[in-house]
Amino acid sequence: MNKKIIFRADGTSKTGLGHLYRLFALAEMFRTEYDFLFLTKEDTVLKVIPKHYMVKLIPKSTEIDKEPEWLYANFSPEYHIVVADGYQFVSSYQKKIKDFNFTLVYVDDLLSEHMYADLVINHSPHAKLENYKKESYTQFALGTDYAILRPLFLKKSIKETKEQFPNNAFICFGGSDYNNFTIKTIRQVLKIDGVNRVNVVVGAAYDFKETYALEKQNSKVSVFKNLDEENLYRLMNTSTFAIVPASTVLFELISVNTYLLSGYYVENQKMAYQYLDKRNIFRGLGDFNDFDFSKLGDILSHVSINDIEKQIENQKTLIDGNQKNRFLELMNKLN
């Protein structure tokens, strides 16, 4: 009998929703073979969690250093595996979880903590074993062979973009986009000749009214909030170019063969950005905090069919579609 998986992550308008979305993707990979529940704090943006997920809330009064004890009091290590994603799950947290004899999987992207987890997942292409401090038993799943993507995004794309470029734009800066790079990007993309649609995806924590006002004023702009997997996949597949940060949404777009412009705005995106930029996976824009968005029109006007073809060929080397099978094999070994 397989152990039940406890997916543990939080997401707010301040911290963003990326940790939640990564675990949603893992849950979809495992759901056919494992029962699971989603464990999160009371202040998480709960409406983004799929309605069919079993959810249990950790009381606000439970501090992070006491959480392992709370977990042990509520769940048996004999019947549960913990899969955690979040910067609060530092070395001391992991060690306490292991001291209670839980099997622990940790999703990482900082390469900074000493790892006590049984398995560490880091799908950033720059992640290497030598970057980590670890216990002797700790195993690793590193690089894009373990890209955390929802099942639809693991299918091979047959889309052709070059003949339509730059017809349909796709813009997404994460679930909250507290800097509101979204509105800056929309305004510049609307100035580009040949752009007929600007599809904008925001999360449940995004609440900048000027973006919705612009949607009402301009028929080219469509804003989609908190899209499910199928609708997001469909929207990405209709887009001929995309502007996104070097986060999970970038890997989803890579899987559907789209001409990409990307940058970063937080430290945990920087190393993945630098690695992928060198491999010409996207047109690099650098740090979005310093980027002059008025340059977007000039950049896109100089994109050639050859540029698009080369970029998409490079993208195809990253995602082979076998990620789900690899993850299931790892989980079955831990079970």
More reliable by pLDDT, 268 or 282: 282
Residue 68 has what pLDDT? 99
Maximum C-alpha span of the chain = 61
Residue 158 has pLDDT above 60, yes or no: no
As a whole number, mean pLDDT of residues 243-265 equals 95
**Mean pLDDT computed over 209-237:** 95
Task: Please give the order of strands across the beta sheet that includes 168-172.
Answer: 221-225, 197-202, 168-172, 241-245, 259-264, 283-287
Residue 185 main-chain phi, psi, to 5 deg: -70, -45
DSSP notation for 60-113: TT--GGGHHHHHHHHS-TTTEEEEEESTT--HHHHHHHHHTT-EEEEE-SS--S
CATH superfamily of 153-315: Glycogen Phosphorylase B; (3.40.50.2000)
Mean pLDDT confidence for 268-297: 97
Q: What was the pLDDT predicted at 16? A: 84
Q: How far is CA 212 from CA 52, 223, 256, in A?
A: 29, 7, 27
Alpha-helical segments (H) within the chain: 18-30, 67-74, 91-99, 181-189, 209-217, 229-237, 248-255, 267-278, 296-301, 305-315, 323-334
- Is it the case that residue 233 has pLDDT exceeding 60? yes
CA 29/CA 151 separation, integer angstroms: 7
Q: Is the pLDDT of residue 159 over 70?
A: no
Cα–Cα distance for residue pair 160/233, rounded to 1 Å: 15
Identify which of 60, 107, 61 has the alpha carbon closest to the alpha carbon of residue 88. Answer: 107
**pTM score:** 0.89
Angle (CA) 15 17 19, round 5°: 95
Domain residue extents for the chain: 4-148+321-334, 153-315
The yes-or-no verdict on residue 9 having pLDDT over 70 is: yes
- Phi and psi at 91, nearest 5°, equal -55, -45
Residue 226: the pLDDT is 86
Local confidence band at 207 (pLDDT 50, 70, 90 cut-offs): confident
Q: Average pLDDT over the chain, rounded to whole?
A: 94
Mean per-residue pLDDT for 279-292? 98
Of 66-75, 111-120, 221-230, minimum mean pLDDT range: 221-230
Q: Is the model's pLDDT at 219 over the cut of 90?
A: yes
What phi and psi, each to the nearest 5 degrees, are found at residue 261? -120, 130
Structural contact between residues 161 and 269, judged by C-beta atoms closer than 8 angstroms: no
pLDDT value at 52 more than 80 = yes
CATH 3.40.50.11190 for domain 4-148+321-334, yes or no, is yes
Work out the pLDDT band at 189, boundaries 50, 70, 90. Answer: very high
Q: Which of 72-81, 170-179, 311-320 has the highest mean pLDDT?
A: 72-81
Same fold, 4-148+321-334 and 153-315: yes
* Average pLDDT of span 286-312: 96
pLDDT the model gives residue 13 = 81
Q: How far apart are CA 139 and CA 115, in angstroms?
A: 10
pLDDT of residue 137: 98
CB 319 within 8 A of CB 251: yes
Tokens describing residue 326: 């690899």
Res 259: pLDDT = 96
Q: Identify the band that residue 163 occupies on the pLDDT scale cut at 50, 70 and 90.
A: low
User: How confident is the model over 156-174, as a mean pLDDT?
Assistant: 77
Distance between CA atoms of residues 321 and 265, nearest Å: 28
Of the listed ranges 156-160, 263-267, 286-290, the least confidently predicted one is: 156-160
